[in-house]
Amino acid sequence: MFSFKCCTLLYDFSDLESNQEPLSWNTRMKIAVGAARGIEYLHCTANPPVIYRDLKSANILLDKEFSPKLSDFGLAKLGPVGDRTHVSTRVMGTYGYCAPEYAMSGKLTVKSDIYCFGVVLLELITGRKAIDLGQKQGEQNLVTWVRNLLNRLQRNT
């Protein structure tokens, strides 16, 4: 999906990856709230609104206090203005995060970003990837897996 070849950093994360602790719940919620504020700014403050189109955990970068910052705006698109509710566009984004109605129709709205945010929220809560081919059949797509779990819960209550 991305044309950028690599991200060359002045430091590497090899220590961080081997020694890192799982993120605490407070940190997870801080990251969710910060990412939501970034999206709110794009949708509600930027004029015209900006649709980010590629919200995913790989694009949420963390500073030393674990405050999140959205990165990679190469797919961003100016949103609809006036009475229009959507812009029509070639479907772009990342498999597993892409809102199904956008994937089917190519009609992009600010709500497409909210769907992606929901997938990131599920990743934060479950620790599972949006698409995880290491899981068994039926559990590889995070949204489908969670939806099935919730349906089962509802049937049992």
Partner 1 sequence: MAIKQLNPDGLQGNREFIVEVLMLSLLHHPNLVTLIGYCTSGDQRLLVYEYMPMGSLEDHLFG
Whichever of 70 and 108 has its CB closer to partner 1, that residue is: 70
Confirm or reject binding of residue 133 to partner 1 (CB under 8 A).
no
- State which amino acid sits at residue 45: T
Q: Which of 72, 115, 119, 145 binds partner 1 (CB under 8 A)?
A: 72
Does the active-site annotation cover 132?
no
Whole-angstrom distance, CA of residue 105 vs CA of residue 52 = 18
Q: Can you say whether the dihedral through the CA atoms of 84, 88, 89, 91 is positive or negative?
A: positive
- State which amino acid sits at residue 127: G
Residues 78-107 contacting partner 1, CB under 8 A: none
Confirm or reject binding of residue 74 to partner 1 (CB under 8 A).
yes
Whole-angstrom distance, CA of residue 18 vs CA of residue 24 = 17
Q: Strand pairing of 60-62 and 68-70?
A: antiparallel
Confirm or reject binding of residue 7 to partner 1 (CB under 8 A).
yes
Query: Considering 54, 63, 83, 113, which one is annotated as catalytic?
Result: 54
Whichever of 78 and 151 has its CB closer to partner 1, that residue is: 78
**Residue 94: count of CB within 10 angstroms of its CB:** 19
Whole-angstrom distance, CA of residue 4 vs CA of residue 142 = 26
Residues carrying an active site annotation? 54
* Residues found near partner 1 in the complex (CB under 8 A): 2-11, 13, 16-17, 20, 22-23, 31, 34-35, 37-38, 41-42, 45-46, 50, 56-64, 66-76, 120, 123-124, 127, 129
